[in-house]
Amino acid sequence: MLKDEAPKPQMGSVTRARRLRKDMSLPEVLLWQLLKARPEGLKFRRQHPSGELTLDFYCADARLAIEIDGQSHAFGDRPHRDERRDAWLKSQGIETLRIPASDVLGDCSTASDGIVQFARSRLPLHHPASAGWSPSPRQARGGFSSGNAPC
């Protein structure tokens, strides 16, 4: 497992994330039902606080933020705000995948599969969830992995 290097939440954002978890939109709830099962070994978090932002979903191993965009994201200053948000996340090494809420409502399972495949494409070579996984050379020799290093 990789070290989670996402920006630490700012004061108050954890409380906001907890509130948002209780008030998720229908597309977010439907998608969460599939992502919480850890498809293909990937762990997703919902309403994950990162810096001053709260990400709809986040996969730490793939350093991937998933945003479910409703119709409001196409109007007013939202497109510009979304661009700034995505640029800030990119500067932190986090890729953003934006999915229209209508796509999730239309076929949630296809949306979930697309997210999982995109996340897998971002995994390091020697990650257990990556395609054709094999142990790293160090693991193959019996060396320490991040989970069993001596104290």
CATH number at residue 101: 3.40.960.10
Could you report the per-residue pLDDT of 53-75, keeping only the tens digit for each? Answer: 889 999 999 999 999 987 766 66
Order of all β-strands in the sheet with 53-59: 45-50, 53-59, 64-69, 95-100
The domain of 69 spans 13-139
Residue 145 domain-assigned (yes or no): no
Task: Look at residue 115 and tell me if it is in a domain.
Answer: yes
Confidence class for position 8, pLDDT limits 50, 70, 90: low
Pairing of strands 95-100, 45-50: unpaired
pTM: 0.71
Residue 151 has what pLDDT?
41
Report the domain count for the chain. Answer: 1
Per the domain annotation, does 149 fall within a domain? no
What does the mean pLDDT of the chain come to?
A: 79
Q: What mean pLDDT is predicted for residues 7-29?
A: 72
Residue 113 lies in a domain: yes
**Ramachandran area for residue 37 (φ above 0: left; ψ -120 to 50: alpha; else beta):** alpha
The answer to whether position 68 is within a domain reads yes
pLDDT of residue 57: 94
- The answer as to whether 1 is a domain residue is no
Does pLDDT of 143 surpass 70?
no
Comparing CA positions, the residue from 139, 118, 140 lying closest to residue 129 is 118
What would the pLDDT profile of 75-105 be if each residue is shown by its tens digit?
Answer: 667 788 889 989 989 998 899 999 999 999 9
Q: Give a yes or no: residue 147 inside a domain.
A: no
Residue predicted with more confidence, 1 or 25: 25
